[in-house]
Amino acid sequence: REIDSTIYTPTIFEAIDVYCEKFEPSLNAVLLYMHQSPCVPDGHEDSVALGLTAGFNYDWLEVAAYLIPQSEAIVRNIFKRERVNTLVNRDDGTEEEMSLNQLLESPHAAEALGKDNVFQLRALLTERAGFNLRNLYSHGLLTDDAVHNNGLFMLWWLLLRMTLFVPWGIEWHRKRMDDASENAAAGR
């Protein structure tokens, strides 16, 4: 945790400054990218875009409010996109969605997300030895002051990279274009 934060945090802040200086990111631009990102589930684009845009504005309370909860939706969406079952059977015969912990610990996690992303997401969101952001935030144990921490800065940076620079993005976009062409040819 300590080594990463001394390297990551200044680098993240410098990247934000350089990016904002050159491109002046707007919510509309980020929203456009979120609608095209294969990571972001349908119907979650606004929340993810608001969270990422807040990071460009150094509004870490807003980043936490939007991105900590959306992290699970993003992970679940990637699993479903990779056709990995996200349901578990309960003792009473019903099914329920796996928790974020279960998803990140599943044998399919490294294949769906990449082992580096799994490691980072666990360290940032669910591990007690890490930042444990999801659990602390969702149970009301993370104060407004405590939100300003290296774990949240790194989570913002990780989700920015995952949503904008996904390795499977080109394949997903190509398939989407092929599907649209097929639908147009079939008159749908």
Question: Per residue in 104-154, pLDDT tens?
Answer: 999 999 988 989 999 999 999 999 999 999 999 999 999 999 999 999 999
Instruction: Quote the radius of gyration of the chain (alpha carbons, Å).
Output: 18
CA distances, 126 to each of 102, 105, 115 (Å):
10, 10, 16
Q: Percent of the chain beyond pLDDT 70? A: 89
At residue 1, the pLDDT reads 47
* Structure token digits, residue 53: 């845009």
More confident residue, 170 or 50: 50
DSSP calls for 117-174 = HHHHHIIIII-TTS--HHHHHHTT-S-HHHHSSHHHHHHHHHHHHHHHS-TTHHHHHH
18-42: pLDDT as tens digits? 888 888 889 999 999 999 998 999 9
> pLDDT band at residue 184, thresholds of 50, 70 and 90?
confident
Q: Is 79 exposed, middle or buried (0-12, 13-18, 19+ CB in 10 A)?
A: buried
Q: Which amino acid is at 110?
A: A
In contact, 37 and 163? CB cutoff 8 Å: yes
Lowest mean pLDDT among 9-13, 80-84, 105-109, 174-178: 174-178
pLDDT of residue 28: 95
Residue 97's DSSP bridge partners are 87
Q: What pTM does this model have?
A: 0.83
Q: For the chain, what's the residue count?
A: 188
Contacts of 53 (CB under 8 A, 6+ apart): 25, 26, 27, 30
- Cβ pair 158, 121 in contact under 8 A: yes
Q: What residues contact residue 9 under an 8 Å CB cut-off, 6+ apart?
A: 150, 153, 154
Q: Are 86 and 76 in contact (CB under 8 A)?
A: yes
Give residue 143's pLDDT. 95
Could you tell me which of 72, 71, 77, 99 has the C-alpha nearest to residue 158? 71
pLDDT(6) > 60: no
